[in-house]
């Protein structure tokens, strides 16, 4: 049996995650098994979306976090890593300067990726392997700064779009009506062409909602149940959500706008169910790393010093 270990860093608007995954090859089968997931609740999007830049204080915290992630990758003796930054770093005027500083001080090379690349990474999570043949699906990832929609027709990637509709933007009331209209129009064009489409949800918020709903393993989260959950959550304060549902503070406030986005898109699609496979950007990065490694390509790695 062959064994490898890879690391993925997902620098989002609401949190920053380090996923370390073990990959086993045995009798022609490849098994991906999470070794650890470390989550840093550093909200880069709060400043990026309101001020247009990331403050020196938050930049320093990001540097400390990346230093910690560097040491974790060294201890785990990974074969390679990839670090991707999304909406907040895209919007921050000093995003490239921060990337340069982190590279100089930690050796971690961060890529600021656009919405299309983010959708491609999500598709690399091999979501198509989990789908029912003959059905069409929309893969939806709701982050702090943007929502990524990826259309899968007969299990194959068809098209994708990224919209600046994210939970932090919604909390700060910085999403304009025309942005909602653009997303609605795009979804409407797709449903006119392909009919009703099943919805697949991704991200920490939908994963939490799935658990709160008490859905059976592999069973979808129904839109009716999600609407009921939404009403319960809206009627509670952030503190009450933390106490009653055991949420982290940085989950308790964004979960309501995330629910709003999922309900809106599911209604536009005519989808009565949301399938929640509990995968995301970091999973896609790991699978992509493994594929490149098996092709003999050189991966980024951390100097052990």
pLDDT band at 117 (very low <50, low <70, confident <90, very high): confident
Contact between 141 and 147 (Cβ < 8 Å)? yes
Topology given in CATH for the domain delimited by 127-279: Nucleotidyltransferase; domain 5 (3.30.420)
In whole angstroms, give the CA distance from residue 70 to residue 104. Answer: 13
Strands of the sheet with 80-85, listed across from one edge: 29-40, 16-26, 2-11, 80-85, 110-112
Per residue in 66-110, pLDDT (tens digit) is: 999 999 999 999 999 999 999 999 999 999 999 999 999 999 999
For all residues of the chain together, what is the average pLDDT? Answer: 91
- Report strand pairing: 80-85 vs 110-112: parallel
Parts of the chain belonging to CATH 3.30.420.40: 2-115+282-294
User: What fold, for 2-115+282-294?
Assistant: Nucleotidyltransferase; domain 5 (3.30.420)
pLDDT, tens only, 5-47: 999 999 999 999 999 999 999 888 899 999 999 999 899 999 9
Band (129; pLDDT cuts 50, 70, 90): low
DSSP 237-284: -HHHHHHHH---HHHHTTHHHHHHHHHHHHHHHT-SEEE-----HHHH
The predicted-structure confidence for 155-209, as pLDDT tens digits, reads as follows 788 998 999 999 999 999 999 999 999 999 999 999 999 988 999 998 889 989 9
Q: Which residues are within 8 A (CB) of 61 and not within 5 positions of it... i.e. 6 or more apart?
A: 42
Residue intervals of the chain classified under CATH 3.30.420.150 are: 127-279
């Amino acid at each position: 049996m062959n064994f490898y270990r890879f690391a993925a860093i997902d620098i989002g608007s609401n949190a920053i995650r380090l996923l370390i995954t073990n990959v086993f090859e045995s009798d022609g089968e490849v098994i991906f098994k999470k070794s650890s997931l470390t989550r840093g609740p550093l909200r880069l999007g709060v400043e990026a979306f309101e001020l247009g830049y990331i403050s020196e204080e938050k930049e320093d915290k990001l540097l400390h976090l990346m230093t910690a992630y560097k040491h974790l990758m060294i201890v785990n003796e990974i074969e390679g890593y990839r670090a991707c930054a999304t909406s907040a770093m895209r919007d921050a005027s000093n995003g490239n300067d921060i990337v340069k500083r982190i590279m100089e001080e930690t050796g971690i090379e961060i890529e600021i990726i656009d919405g299309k690349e983010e959708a491609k990474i999500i598709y690399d999570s091999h979501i198509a392997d989990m789908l029912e043949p003959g059905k069409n699906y929309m893969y939806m990832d709701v982050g702090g700064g943007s929502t990524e929609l990826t259309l899968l027709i007969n299990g194959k990637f068809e098209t994708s779009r990224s919209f600046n509709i994210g939970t932090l933007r919604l909390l700060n009331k910085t999403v304009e009506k025309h942005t909602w209209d653009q997303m609605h129009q795009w979804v409407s064009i797709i449903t006119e062409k392909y009919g009703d489409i099943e919805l697949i949800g991704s991200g920490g918020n939908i994963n939490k909602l799935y658990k709160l709903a008490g859905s059976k393993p592999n069973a979808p989260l129904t839109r009716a149940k999600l609407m009921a959950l939404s009403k319960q959550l809206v009627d509670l304060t952030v503190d009450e959500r933390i106490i009653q549902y055991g949420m982290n503070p940085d989950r308790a406030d964004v979960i309501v706008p995330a629910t709003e986005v999922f309900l809106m898109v599911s209604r536009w699609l005519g989808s009565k169910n949301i399938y929640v496979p509990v995968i995301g950007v970091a999973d896609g990065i790991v699978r992509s790393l493994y594929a490149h490694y098996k092709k003999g390509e050189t991966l980024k790695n951390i100097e052990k010093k």
